[in-house]
Amino acid sequence: MNLSTPSTALFVKDIHVSKEFYTHVLNLQTELDFGKNVILRGGLTIWEIQESHIIPKKLGMKTLSDDGVNRFELYFETSNLEEVFRKLKDHQVRFLHEIHEEPWGQQTIRFFDPDDHLIEIGESMKLFVTRWYKQGLSVEQVSQKTHVPIDEVKRLID
């Protein structure tokens, strides 16, 4: 299994308040800003998760907004999601969901570790951006679908 890009995604109630805190109070730099999902340099992501997303659909929005619950997800990327999925299945891991395509076009799986911490493994950004481009979408259409800035799409497909 080949995993990379470990990061922690913190589920936040208000992306604007959290972005202000992490960028102005803690002085972390924004690497990519997708609106409700902001990737900060150093491997931390803040995410105002929407009720329509698969995580609250499976866990319940109340779980994600309960102040007494740790609201985070450990995130990894891979170039071979099918292989990772099969290995997890072989080890009888408990899934939140099996392979699923996110609204922005990335395929992901989410599951729990032995202590019920949520873990996500998704296709690398390069992989899913390139996949959409190879399926015939223009650079602009890939950017619109994935919310990845046009300059980043161009860099990833080269």
At 95-115, the pLDDT tens digits run 999 999 999 999 999 988 766
| pLDDT for 7 | 78
CA–CA distance from 51 to each of 58, 61, 79 (Å)?
Answer: 10, 6, 28
Domain ranges, ordered by start, for the chain: 3-123, 125-158
| Amino acid found at 14 | D
How far does Cα 70 stand from its chain's mean position? 17
What's the pLDDT score for residue 75?
87
- Kindly indicate the confidence band of residue 52, based on its pLDDT and cuts at 50, 70 and 90: confident
Tokens of 111: 């599951």
Tokens matching residue 74? 């450990």
The 3-state DSSP class for residue 103 equals: coil
Tokens 């990379």 — which residue?
A: 4
pTM: 0.71
Residue range 141-150, pLDDT digits in tens: 999 999 999 9
* 3-123 classified as CATH 3.40.50.11540: no
Instruction: Please state the separation of Cα 30 from the chain's center in Å.
Output: 16
Q: Which residues pair with 11 in a beta bridge?
A: 47
Residues 6 and 20: their CA atoms lie apart, in Å, by 23
